[in-house]
């Protein structure tokens, strides 16, 4: 899938964000650019590149050979020399200095991005960067790079060819709609993670097998969830954390009966595929980064009128809960009971 490689419109390079959720939020921007005839190439880090392969508007994905941290100037200069002369426009989604270096060094004539990190000389078309407390929802934030006035909260949409889904499910040993997915991780920190014991208790109440998805760093967390379930019903939980590529994880999510997740990148992936989901929020806020889908159900105790005492500390947006046990440590997530999530899931 992809836009017409022979398009006579402008050839555009989009520098992708480095997080899965943010990558999903750029899809409406891709749709806007493609609709006006631009041929889209996305430059992305390897761990988010599969998200862009699930966007039909994208003609080509270039996986950047960069790592987290550091400017890696030589590597950027080397890639820039390979890209020199290929593109008419660059859209730079991240706000960092290093993300704007490659389009500048590749001599792309028009370079669009938000002001930030002293990169004013690297951009030819600069958008004012609103302060974080006044920043619009992320879809609108990225879509504004198109220069179009109406950048309302479009809903991201991902799509994988049915033939690819069939091959991926066969590789995973899964059947469409015959399993549920848990995504219990959250890269930001533990204050966004529903307790493993709650995930495990929920898994024991479900009528279908459960597939656990996450990174290699989340394997132990997923095993903690799976072990009690499998002790009662051997093989009911399949822990794929760190054992499968993101491309296969996207296929597993797209074909699931439903998914339970924290506020995470995989939550946004599920919403973009239109998969029924329950998204559990703790330290963060669904008012800022909700799953944009009619089939999403949100659990946030802050907005539950019957929950007492009220969660005056939420949203704190902290990585770890600062409260001691006697003052309600992690109660924004601990008090979300499995039975209540089950009621929203079915």
Superfamily of segment(s) 162-345: Glycogen Phosphorylase B; (3.40.50.2000)
Q: What is the pTM of this model?
A: 0.93
Q: Tens digit of pLDDT per residue, the chain (346 long)? A: 455 545 678 999 999 999 999 999 999 999 999 999 999 999 999 999 999 999 999 999 999 988 766 778 888 899 999 999 999 999 999 999 999 999 999 999 999 999 987 888 999 999 998 887 778 889 999 999 999 988 777 899 999 999 999 999 999 999 999 999 999 998 888 999 999 999 999 999 999 999 999 999 999 999 999 999 999 999 999 999 999 999 999 999 999 999 999 999 999 999 999 999 999 999 999 988 899 999 999 999 999 999 999 999 999 999 999 999 888 899 999 999 999 999 999 7
DSSP string, 101-120: HHHHHTT-SEEEEE--TT-G
Q: Do domains 11-146 and 162-345 have the same CATH topology?
A: yes
CATH class assigned to 11-146 = alpha beta
Query: For residue 76, what are the CA distances in angstroms to 84, 108, 182, 331?
Result: 12, 14, 37, 45
User: How is the beta sheet containing 259-262 ordered, strand by strand?
Assistant: 237-239, 210-212, 180-183, 259-262, 277-280, 296-299
- Find tokens 């506020």 and name the residue: 263
**Domain definitions of the chain by residue range:** 11-146, 162-345
For residue 299, what are its two tokens?
A: 């659990």
**Residues 10, 8: Cα–Cα separation, whole Å:** 7
Provide the β-strand partners of residue 299: 280
Phi, psi of 124 (to 5 degrees): -100, -25
DSSP string, 314-344: -----SS----GGGTTTHHHHTS-HHHHHHH
């Amino acid at each position: 899938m992809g836009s017409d490689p022979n398009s006579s419109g402008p050839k555009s390079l989009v520098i992708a964000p480095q997080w899965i959720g943010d990558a999903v939020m750029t899809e409406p921007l891709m749709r806007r650019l493609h609709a006006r005839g631009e041929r889209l190439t996305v430059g992305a880090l390897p761990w988010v590149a599969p998200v862009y392969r699930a966007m039909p508007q994208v003609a080509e994905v270039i996986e950047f050979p960069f790592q987290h941290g550091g400017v890696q100037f030589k590597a950027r200069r080397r890639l820039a020399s390979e890209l020199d002369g290929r593109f008419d426009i660059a859209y730079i989604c991240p706000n960092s200095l290093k993300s704007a270096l490659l389009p500048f060094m590749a001599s792309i004539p028009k370079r669009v991005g938000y002001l930030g990190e002293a990169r004013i000389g690297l951009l030819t078309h600069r958008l004012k960067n609103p302060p974080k407390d006044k920043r619009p929802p992320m879809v609108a934030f990225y879509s504004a790079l198109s220069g179009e006035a109406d950048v309302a909260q479009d809903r991201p949409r991902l799509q994988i060819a049915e033939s690819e889904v069939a091959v991926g499910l066969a590789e995973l040993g899964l059947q469409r709609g015959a399993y549920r997915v848990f995504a219990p991780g959250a890269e930001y920190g533990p204050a966004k993670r529903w307790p493993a014991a709650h995930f495990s208790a929920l898994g024991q109440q479900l009528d279908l097998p459960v597939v656990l998805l996450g990174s290699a760093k989340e394997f132990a967390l997923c095993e903690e969830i799976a072990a009690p379930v499998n002790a009662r019903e051997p093989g009911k939980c399949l822990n794929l954390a760190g054992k499968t590529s993101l491309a296969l994880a996207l296929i597993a999510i797209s074909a699931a009966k439903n998914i339970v997740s924290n506020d995470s990148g995989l939550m946004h992936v599920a919403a973009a595929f239109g998969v029924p989901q329950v998204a559990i929020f703790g330290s963060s806020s669904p008012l800022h980064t909700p799953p944009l889908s009619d089939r999403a159900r949100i659990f946030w105790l802050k907005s539950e009128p019957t929950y007492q005492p009220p969660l005056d500390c939420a949203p704190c947006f902290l990585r770890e809960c600062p409260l001691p046990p006697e003052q309600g440590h992690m109660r924004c997530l601990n008090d979300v009971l499995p039975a209540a999530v089950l009621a929203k899931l079915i």
